[in-house]
Amino acid sequence: MSIAHHRRKQPELVRQQLLEVAARLSLEQGAAGVTLDAVSHAAGVSKGGLLHHFPNKMALLDGLFDDLTGKLDRMIAEEMRNDPVAHGRFTRAYLSCVFALQEDADAQGWQVLTIALLSEPQLRARWRLWVADHADAFVGTDSSAACLLARFAADGLWLADLLKSHDVDPPARQAMRSHLIALSLQ
């Protein structure tokens, strides 16, 4: 009898490991490198174990989307709890999260997800829904043109960081963040 039969089952840890491996493979080899065989092999999980969690590649990408947007929602909620000013509160929380993405432990996953958003219509639709849901939820406090502009600018920074198209030193990043926060208060 193999050790696998005696090992304590930890399905959530296995699921998370599969997501992390898929993110790493995507960054190292591009989206084409994320095959079910490659992910199961690199994670040390049987293909059956992988298929138990993610029956296909799209399900794996959906799992990554759910995992990351769930973490983003929790980060935004935490930032909002600490902000006493209602007007622009969601926008400032979003800005804080986007500016932190570069140093975040999930930065690799965000890079993969952003690349997948560009190529996968289903994920783009889910992201549009996430954006629309949050816009609707904070329509009274964050629907001004200034708040929208601040979030668009943050999205541009997110893309520039992903593409490594601009070298923005920390003082310049902090100045941009300060300007965008000021914009959210208008």
Given this model, what pLDDT does residue 8 score?
A: 56
Task: Tell me the pTM.
Answer: 0.82
Given this model, what pLDDT does residue 15 score?
A: 87
Given this model, what pLDDT does residue 9 score?
A: 67
Q: How far apart are CA 64 and CA 56, in angstroms?
A: 13
Candidate CATH numbers 1.10.10.60, 2.30.30.40, 3.10.129.10, 1.10.3720.10; the one for domain 1-55: 1.10.10.60
Given a contact cutoff of 8 angstroms between Cβ atoms, the answer to whether 90 and 138 are in contact is yes
Given this model, what pLDDT does residue 81 score?
A: 97
DSSP-assigned states of every residue in 53-98: H-SSHHHHHHHHHHHHHHHHHHHHHHHHHT----TTHHHHHHHHHH
Q: What is the pLDDT along the chain (186 residues), one digit of tens a residue?
A: 444 544 456 878 888 888 888 878 777 776 677 788 989 999 888 888 888 899 998 898 888 888 888 989 999 999 999 999 999 999 999 999 999 887 766 677 777 778 778 778 998 999 999 999 999 999 999 999 999 999 999 999 988 888 889 999 999 999 999 999 999 999
For 116, the enclosing helix (H) or strand (E) is helix 107-119
